[in-house]
Amino acid sequence: MTRQKTILVTGGAGFLGSFLCESLVADGHSVICLDNFHTGAREKIAHLMDEENFELVWHDVTVPVHADVDEIYNLACPASPVHYQSDPVKTVKTNVMGALNALELARHTQAKVFQASTSEIYGDPAVHPQDETYWGNVNSIGPRSCYDEGKRCAETLFYDYHRQYGLEIRVARIFNTYGPRMNADDGRVVSNFVLQALKNEPVTLYGNGMQTRSFCYVDDLIRGIRALMDHEPGVLHPVNLGNPVEFTMRGLADLVLELTGSRSELVFRPLPQDDPRQRRPDITRATEALGWQPEVPLRRGLEKVIDYFDGVLSRRPARVEV
């Protein structure tokens, strides 16, 4: 039987954090969910509030935290460009000071600590697909830099704490992940396309729509994160977690239109600055070290997201015409 642990999840009221908390609570661990509700919401964890092994704490990770814990999952940080660019200075602080505070807590409690890093540390990659040995192609002064460079600095801190203080660390480089409980207003491509299609509004393709991403369903990702954290002896290198099946944004739009039966038309909008042209994880390391690979194909995952947003839209109060 696995030992029940006390586990801190920063950003636990966010999209990924809520699924992670759910999975840890289901396994009987004592979970402390720490969040400042910047992009998270109580509704995402409402179903856990009555569980006796779940506790919610309002806290900003830029401020040091004290708790007696066995493990820390550091997820706190807005993930969508719209949100992380709305207050870029705060995004850097959340990434860098949040990582420092998580690592200091780990140092004092001897906890194992996980960092939610990102494919963005590869920037607009000159190597395709991206494996973990690639150092990336990142603009240090652009509008995405607060996130990309913040996450890169957090990785640096994790490896320095490991070398300097012997901390037990895990670092996952997460590629685009989607699923129910994504924020409707975060401007990400999956939520935008699905909501636009469901409302029969124009589907907005940025640029010519030929840029690519690889989309991982949330259940697959959480399984990967848990496998990495639980793997003994620890995997010391960063590990890519994502679905290696690559789609153009045009292909994604066509699939969403097909699955929703929408009457929406496609419209083209300018490509945001520094938007990566292609992105696909090489997941050899995760497969070999953890025996992990994604199982949910995009079509099946999108059906779940469409059901989810359909429910969100039907619960919205009807607008009163005056």
* Contact footprint for ligand UDP (CB under 6 A): 80-81, 176, 188-189, 192, 204-206, 211, 213, 249, 271-272, 275
Parallel, antiparallel or unpaired: strands 212-214 and 246-248: antiparallel
250-256, Cβ contacts within 8 angstroms, sequence gap of 24 or more = 250/205, 250/208, 250/209, 250/210, 252/189, 252/190, 252/193, 252/213, 252/215, 252/298, 253/193, 253/203, 253/205, 253/209, 255/298, 255/299, 255/302, 256/193, 256/194, 256/197, 256/203, 256/302, 256/306
Catalytic pick among 147, 161, 178, 217: 147
Question: Of 190 and 205, which has the nearer Cβ to ligand NAD?
Answer: 190
The residue among 206 and 308 lying less far from ligand UDP, judged by its C-beta, is: 206
Spatial distance between the Cα atoms of 233 and 240, rounded to a whole number of angstroms: 18
Rounded CA separation 45/49 (Å): 7
Smallest separation, CB 274 to ligand UDP (Å) = 9
State the binding partner of 81 from ligand UDP, ligand NAD, none, CB within 5 to 8 A by kind: ligand UDP
* 147 is an active site residue: yes
Q: Are 169 and 161 in contact (CB under 8 A)?
A: yes
Inter-residue contact 57 to 17 (CB < 8 Å): no
Compute the least distance from the CB of residue 222 to ligand NAD, in Å.
11
Residue with Cβ nearer ligand UDP (183 or 211): 211
* Side chain identity, residue 67: A
Q: C-beta of 233: minimal distance to ligand NAD in Å?
A: 25
Which option in ligand UDP, ligand NAD, none does residue 174 bind, with CB closer than 5 to 8 A by kind?
A: ligand NAD
Give least dist CB 36 to ligand NAD, A.
4
The token duo for 270 is 């300018």
* Token pair 């706190």 in the structure block, residue: 76
Residue 27, judged by CB atoms within 10 A of its CB (0-12, 13-18, 19+), counts as: middle
CA-based end-to-end distance of the chain: 62
Rounded to 5 degrees, φ, ψ at 206 are -90, 135
Complex with ligand UDP: residue 109 or 115, whichever CB lies closer: 115
How many whole angstroms separate alpha carbon 204 and alpha carbon 197? 10
Task: Give the separation between CA 133 and CA 203, rounded to whole angstroms.
Answer: 36
* Residue 93: CB minimum distance to ligand UDP, A: 20
- For the bound state, the minimum distance from the C-beta of residue 183 to ligand UDP, rounded and expressed in Å, comes to 11
249 contact, one of ligand UDP, ligand NAD, none, CB 5-8 Å limit per kind: ligand UDP
> Is the CB of 74 or the CB of 204 nearer to ligand UDP?
204
Cis preceding-peptide flag for 233 (omega within 30 of 0):
yes
Closer residue to ligand NAD, CB minimum distance, 9 or 205: 9
Residue ranges in contact with ligand NAD by CB under 6 A: 11, 13-17, 35-40, 60-62, 75-79, 94, 98, 116, 118, 174, 176-177
Q: Which residues are catalytic?
A: 147
